[in-house]
Structure 1
Amino acid sequence: MRLTARSEYALLALLHLARQEADQYVTVDSIGSAQGIPPKFLEQILLTLKRARYLRSLKGQHGGYRLAKKPRDISVAEIIRLFDGALAPTESVSRYFYESTPIEKEKSLIRVFKQVRDYVSDKLENTTLADLR
């Protein structure tokens, strides 16, 4: 698993929103300047999060974005999967994004990579925005 800038920025934006009042809409510019995220890139990320039903948006002078779910209901794992795919170190041990890879012929390596996958997955599945804010 390797995080892209998209998933890192998505997590930063979500954490920023999780720290706001539940019904408060926050502008793209406000999130971007607070987290150091380029506004155009942030708009794309927020749109993806909105389409995946993690965010709500409101247009107009008092518009912006806010969480559509409670922070305790959004895990770090699901956001990483949304933007980057598998949490597993190789696709051949991925639960959700399996693909055959050359490493499969070595069962001892597969065992180790499954242990790594299970540890990382467990940690990220059980860490929510509420835990991090």
Structure 2
Amino acid sequence: MLTNKGKYGLKAMLFLARLEPGDSAMGAEIASANNIPKKFLDAILLELRNAGMVRSKKGPGGGYALSRHPRDIRIGHIIRTLDGPLAPLACASKSAYVPCQDCQDLESCSVRITMSKVRDAMSDILDGMSLHDMIVFGRAPNADLMYNI
């Protein structure tokens, strides 16, 4: 499940993606426009900056901006940066695998196999979608057809 941190991060990134090239936005502006607590947003933007998706500049004319074109930033990368692995269970994760203590047979565990399929489906959609796609997807009346949803 997407946490508030992940949801707010997506909203902030979409806000920045909609800026004119060369423009930036102050954290307070992003927070106000998206109803995000400013202090929480500051921590989120710091993580996104550390992951190389956002750049910041202090002083007059400063603020936050995307560090790359919105077509080059994948939604899956944003969510993993803020919320961690996409898998609903640790035993179904590719990047943070942890076996379940109660599992008798890892290879035939129907719960793990099903959650691995859920992880793969989520990953296919989120890693295949850029910020730019998300903006277009949000505007298009039949956008779900673009991704066979």
Identity of aligned residues (%): 41
Q: Distance in 1 between the 2:113 and 2:42 partners?
A: 40
Secondary structure (helix, strand or coil) at the match of 2:85 reads: coil
Alignment of 1:100-119 (within 5 A): 100-101=99-100, 102-103=102-103, 105=105, 106-119=108-121
Residue 104 of structure 1 and its aligned partner are, at CA, apart by 6.3
- Does the 8 A contact of 1:103 with 1:109 survive in 2? no
Secondary structure (helix, strand or coil) at the match of 1:122 reads: helix
Q: Does 1:129 align with 2:131?
A: yes
Q: Distance in 2 between the 1:50 and 1:111 partners?
A: 35
Secondary structure (helix, strand or coil) at the match of 1:97 reads: coil
Cα distance change, pair 20–103 in 1 and its aligned pair in 2 (3 A): farther
- Does the 8 A contact of 1:28 with 1:43 survive in 2? yes
Superposition misfits of 4+ residues, deviation over 3 angstroms: none
Secondary structure (helix, strand or coil) at the match of 1:40 reads: helix
Cα distance change, pair 20–91 in 1 and its aligned pair in 2 (3 A): same
* TM-score, normalisation: structure 1: 0.92
Number of equivalent positions: 132
2:5 counterpart residue number: 6
2:15 counterpart residue number: 16
Residue 50 of structure 1 and its aligned partner are, at CA, apart by 0.9
Q: Structure 1: 5+ residue runs without aligned partners?
A: none
Q: Distance in 1 between the 2:78 and 2:134 partners?
A: 14
After superposition, the CA RMSD in angstroms is: 1.4
**AA at the equivalent of 2:54:** L
- Does the 8 A contact of 1:25 with 1:64 survive in 2? yes
Q: Distance in 1 between the 2:59 and 2:70 partners?
A: 25
Q: Distance in 2 between the 1:104 and 1:113 partners?
A: 17
Structure 1 residues 35-81: Cα deviation after superposition (integer angstroms, max 9, x where no partner) = 11111111111111111111111111211000001111111111111
Secondary structure (helix, strand or coil) at the match of 1:69 reads: coil
Structure 1 residues 8-49: Cα deviation after superposition (integer angstroms, max 9, x where no partner) = 111100000000112111111111111111111111111111
